[in-house]
Structure 1
Amino acid sequence: MSPQGRIGRPPKVNREQVVAAAADILANDGPLKFSMRTLAARLDISAMGIYHYFDSKNDLLGAVLEHQSWNTPIPDLPDDPRERLIALPLAVIEHLERHPWVIDVLSADEIIDAYSAWSFDEFLQTTDELGIPEEDSLQLLLGLWRIVIGEVTVRTNTAMRDSRPNSSPWYTREIPQHVLDRPRLLRTLTQLDPSLDGYDIRKTLVAYLSGQLGEKFTG
C-alpha cells in the first residue's frame, strides 16, 4: 500500500518543467510542430503526465504565455490621440506576428499577454482623453481586438503557405465553378494581388474608427 497522502509513483517532471519545455518547442520549432504528443516525447513522459497539470492544450498555452518573457520594444506613440488609436493596434499586430502560436490561446480564452495589456491600457487612456464614454470605449476595443486577431491569423497562414514549395493562393489556380458562375466576384478575384502588399490594414483601422466615432481619421 502507498504511504498515506500519496497514490502511485511521483511524477517524473514538475509543472514548471512542462511549461519550460513547451515554451522551448514553440520558440524554436514553431507552432506547427507543437503538440501534446511532441511535448510528452520531449519530456519522456506520457501525454497523461501533462494532463496531470493542465486540463487542456489551451490551459498549457496560457501558462506558457505567462511564463514567456516578451522582448517586443514599446514604440513611441503619436501625440495626437486619434493617431494613437490607430498606432496601438498596429503595434499589437506586429508583436503577435512574432509569436503566432499565441493567437490560439488569446482568441480561445480572451486573455491577453503583457504587451497586449500595455496596448489596451494605453488605448483606454486615449479614449478617456477624447471623452469617449466607457461603454463605447469597450466596444471600440473589442472590435479592434477582433480585427487584430484576424489580421495576425491571415498573415501567419499566408507565411506558412508561402513556405511550402510551389504554393499559391487558390484563386491563382483552378477557380471553382461556383466562383465562375459569379462574374462580379470573379472580376475582383482576378485583380487581387496574391501578396500581403495588396492589402493595407491601416486603411481598415481608419475606416473602422471613423465609422464608429463619426469622426474623420487620417488615412
Structure 2
Amino acid sequence: MKPRNGRRGGARQSASLSQKTIVAAALHILDSEGPQQLTMRRLARELSITPMALYHHVRDRHELLLLLVASRSRGRERPILPEDPRERLLAAAQLLHDVLAQYPFLHEILASPDLLAVSSLWVMEALLDAAVDCGLPLEEAVRAHQAIWHFTVGVLLIRTTSHQHHAELTRPTQRERVFATLSPDDFPRVSSLADRWSSLTARDTHREALEDIVEGLLGGRPAHPGEHG
C-alpha cells in the first residue's frame, strides 16, 4: 500500500537529513534571497519537509545561526599577524571588520553573545594582546577594543542598511530632496557640498579611519612587546 499523503516518504527524507544538508540549504537561501527570508518555515520548504520535521534536527533559529557561523569559520586558517605591535593592532582591527562582514545576518550576530563569541573571540584576543604590547595597561586595552568594536559595528550596520535601503528605492532619497532645497545663507557649508555629497561619501574610507583611530588610541606611546600588565 502506498503511504497516505506521502507521510512515510517524508519521514524517511527527514531521517536522512544531516546538519550539513540543512546548512547548505540555509546558505543557499541567504545567498539568493537574503537574511530576511531565512526562516525555519522557508528552510523547511527548501528541504521539502515540514517545519516540525526540521525542528527534529535544529532546535530553533538561534541554533541554525550557530551552525551557519561554525560553517563559515570551519577550516579557515587564521592569518599570521605582523610582529610590530602597532601594525598588529591595526591588522587585528581590520580582521574584526572582515570577520563580521562575512555574515549577512549581522544584526543577530551582534545581538547574541553566543554567536559573537563563536565568530570573533579569537580576534578579540588578538586585539587585546596587540594593544597591551603597544604599551596600554590591560584595562585601557579593553577600552581600545571597545572603541574599535563600536566603530567597526557602526560602519558595517550603516553599510548594510544603506545598501538594502537603496536597493528598494525607486525615487531620490529624502536627503537628496532636502539638500536640493537648502538655503546657502542658512547652511553655507552643507549647501556647497549638496551636489557632491553622495560621491564624497560613497567611497569606502574604513581603512583610513581605522588608522586614524588606532593612532589616536596610542598617541605617542612607545611599544613594549611582551609586557602584559
- Answer yes or no: same fold by TM over 0.5: yes
Q: Pick from 155, 158, 169: which aligns with 1:151? A: 155
Letter in 2 for 1:208: I
Aligned to 2:107: 104
User: Could you say which structure has the higher helix fraction?
Assistant: 2
Aligned to 1:206: 211
1:36 matched to 2:40? The reply is yes
Number of equivalenced pairs:
207
Aligned to 2:128: 124
Letter in 1 for 2:107: D
CA contact (8 A) 1:81 1:130 kept: yes
> Using the alignment, how far apart are the partners of 1:216 and 1:183 within structure 2?
40
Aligned to 1:4: none
Instruction: Decide whether aligned partners of structure 1 residues 195 and 176 sit closer, same or farther in structure 2, where only a CA change above 3 A counts.
Output: closer
After superposition, residues 54-93 of structure 1 pair within 5 angstroms as 56-69=60-73, 74-75=78-79, 77-93=81-97
What 5-or-longer segments of structure 1 have no aligned partner? 1-9
Instruction: Decide whether aligned partners of structure 1 residues 175 and 52 sit closer, same or farther in structure 2, where only a CA change above 3 A counts.
Output: farther
Letter in 1 for 2:104: W
CA contact (8 A) 2:26 2:43 kept: yes
State the superposition RMSD in angstroms. 4.1
What 5-or-longer segments of structure 2 have no aligned partner? 1-10, 223-229
What SS class does the counterpart of residue 197 from structure 2 fall into? coil
Deviation at 1:137, TM superposition (A): 1.4
Instruction: Decide whether aligned partners of structure 1 residues 51 and 126 sit closer, same or farther in structure 2, where only a CA change above 3 A counts.
Output: same
1:135 matched to 2:139? The reply is yes
Q: Percent identity?
A: 24
> Using the alignment, how far apart are the partners of 2:55 and 2:189 within structure 1?
47
Instruction: Decide whether aligned partners of structure 1 residues 168 and 160 sit closer, same or farther in structure 2, where only a CA change above 3 A counts.
Output: farther
1:25 matched to 2:26? The reply is no
CA contact (8 A) 2:182 2:191 kept: no
Letter in 2 for 1:202: R
Q: Normalising by structure 2, what TM-score?
A: 0.66
More relative contact order, 1 or 2 (CA 8 Å, 6+ apart): 2
Deviation at 1:131, TM superposition (A): 3.0
CA contact (8 A) 1:65 1:113 kept: no
Instruction: Decide whether aligned partners of structure 1 residues 116 and 182 sit closer, same or farther in structure 2, where only a CA change above 3 A counts.
Output: farther
Deviation at 1:109, TM superposition (A): 0.9
Letter in 2 for 1:193: S
CA contact (8 A) 2:90 2:211 kept: yes
Letter in 1 for 2:111: A
Aligned to 1:175: 178
> Using the alignment, how far apart are the partners of 2:200 and 2:163 within structure 1?
10
Letter in 1 for 2:198: D
> Using the alignment, how far apart are the partners of 1:142 and 1:161 within structure 2?
28
Letter in 2 for 1:145: W
Instruction: Decide whether aligned partners of structure 1 residues 24 and 211 sit closer, same or farther in structure 2, where only a CA change above 3 A counts.
Output: same
What SS class does the counterpart of residue 178 from structure 2 fall into? coil
Deviation at 1:89, TM superposition (A): 1.9
